[in-house]
Chains A and B, each alone.
Chain A
Amino acid sequence: MKPSPLAQHSTDEAAQPRMVRLIEAERARLTFSLDGAPATAREGDTILTAVLTARRYLAESAGGEDTRAGFCLMGACQECWVAVDGTRARACSTLVTAGMSVATGGHFTVG
């Protein structure tokens, strides 16, 4: 079986996340679940921000051949779909709430 591109990434550059908090970084913390593991976000983070300030990738591309980390951040490109509590949502336009469960593993095709 072809290893998931996400799995290949987890070893390199683990130290630095992708996005860098510059302004008003010290907002209240909240915890949510990311791919089954506990994760921390700041209040007002989108899912995309919360994930990319923790790691360098969001999810596999729709075809599964590479990874993506969002692109337009304004709801136009549709590259940031994740599953939130079992429903699809755009990571760039959905705010994290405490206790939310986010899964980035599978990819979601549009019917």
Chain B
Amino acid sequence: MADPAIAIVGAGPAGIRAAEALSRHGLSAILVDEAPKGGGQIYRQPPDSFQGPASSRYGFEARKASALHLTIKRLATAIDYRPSTLAWNVCNGRLDTLCAGRGESVVFDILVIATGAMDRMLPLPGWTLPGVYALGGAQIALKYQGCAIGQNTVFLGTGPLLYLVAYQYAKAGAKIEAVLDVNPAHAKRRALFALASSPRTLAKGIYYRASLGTHGIAVEEGVTPMGIAGTDEVRDVHYRRGSVDKSVRCDAVGLGFGLKSETQDGESTVSGVYLAGDGAGIGGADAAELWGERVGLSIAARCGRRHDASRIAKIDRRLARLARFRAGLERAFPLPLLGSTLPDDTILCRCESIRVGQVKDAIRAFDVVEMNRMKAISRVGMGRCQGRMCGHAAAELLAAETRQDLAAVGRLRGQPPIKPLPMPWPGTP
């Protein structure tokens, strides 16, 4: 049997380790990533003009980052690695890609989707004001461009990244006005046992949190965000703690409530399509590397290559331990229910500036009970971002308005192109 054509989308920890495992077993893959350099989100490489050491960029993870960068550098000559290439459609064994304005279709027998995660976002009053950035975006500004998102920054939301990014900003010399976590301290204490399954990661988290104190940065937990105020840009963040209304002045906000998969669903049910890394379920960078390798080994086994069963068993044990840690994180930093409590004049859809009240009206007027019908009628989820930013809150809103469970309202179906294509768009030959 001829070797199958294998395509991998995403050159982050998961995609790179999958490609490496395949290559070790004599299988070559086409690896596409829209970024100009490999590494993915956590180990994103800055443009060439940044010459500083890895330690200043990746902190405790510098060794892992350098190892991964070395792997992709070596692989680049051995496999068909295509950076700066967007995958915009998958259909019947064909992957449609775009690189420097040129379209190309890649035919595959086996596809690995390792497209990573993005910020889990919830709308707030004022979240479209200039100066509000996704938390992950705030980190990219620093890691990829050496910049802070503002002169005086507030970090608002929840999740481990909230504390990590605040720590990285403080270390780089940015001025932080406050770190506001919607989850209370006791949620974290209750999760400690599960979190202790990865003691080193837990220790790092505790260190980041503690060092914010050392830098004199106010950290408030268990807050209810009321909104971001300002006329034509961010001026204050308003929040409530207990029964006390508070506000903090700032000109930038890093907003994020954890991470969610860039692919919509966890398990692939299509034969020949594998999901790996954060794109399949949020597990963090170490899990992404292991998961990628695991998928590579599964494919090698499927292609009749000799594989090391003990390595597979070891990866599975480690992934199980990381899953326990992940469950602990979910308990420590759950997503707050905000979508159903937003004031009517809050912009829900950033792309088309559609407000909560307009969506509620549409739901009532047309007896909408399902997400894709809501999209068709209200246009929420139809804009450029395809519901990436507002999808969750829109679902919460629909569930609350129609007194259904969140799961019952369904989810937005994406349409190709998965990301907008630059125009003018030259046709594929």
Contact = CB atoms under 8 A, between A and B. Distances in A.
Interface of A: 5, 8-9, 12-13, 16, 18-25, 27-28, 42-46, 49, 52-53, 56-58, 61-63, 65-79, 81, 87-89, 92-93, 95, 108, 110-111
19 contacts: A16-B151, A24-B52, A28-B49, A56-B131, A57-B130, A62-B352, A66-B128, A69-B131, A71-B132, A72-B134, A72-B389, A73-B134, A73-B138, A74-B134, A76-B385, A78-B351, A78-B420, A79-B385, A88-B423
Given A19-B147, A42-B49, A72 B137 contact: yes
A87 B130 contact: no
A37 to B, nearest CB: 20
A75 B49 CA distance: 21
A42 B46 CA distance: 13
Contacts of A62: 351-353, 383-384
A81 B48 CA distance: 24
A44 B266 CA distance: 36
Contact of A27 (B50, B129, B134): B50
B41 to A, nearest CB: 7
Nearest to A61: B353
B107 interface: no
B147 A71 contact: no
Interface string B10-32: 00000000000000000000000
A27 B144 CA distance: 14
Nearest to B255: A71
Given A8-B232, A24-B51, A19 B148 contact: yes
B283 interface: no
Given A20-B174, A68-B130, A72-B137, A46 B145 contact: yes
Given A9-B232, A16-B151, A67-B130, A74 B146 contact: no
B268 interface: no
Given A43-B49, A67-B130, A67-B233, 18 more contacts: A19-B150, A20-B147, A21-B147, A22-B148, A23-B142, A23-B172, A24-B52, A25-B146, A53-B147, A56-B131, A63-B353, A70-B133, A71-B132, A72-B136, A73-B141, A78-B419, A78-B420, A79-B384
B166 to A, nearest CB: 14
Contacts of A23: 52, 56, 142, 146, 172
A9 B130 CA distance: 11
Interface string B28-56: 00000011000001000011111110001
A65 B350 CA distance: 12
Interface in B357-408: 383-385, 388-389
Given A73-B133, A76-B385, A44 B46 contact: yes
Interface string B328-358: 0000000000000000000000111100000
B263 to A, nearest CB: 13
A40 B353 CA distance: 32
B358 to A, nearest CB: 13
Nearest to B419: A75
A46 B141 CA distance: 10
Contacts of B150: 18-20
Which residue among A5, A77, A88 has the maximum number of chain B CB atoms within 10 Å of its CB? Answer: A77
A71 B389 contact: yes
A81 B351 CA distance: 12
B148 A70 contact: no
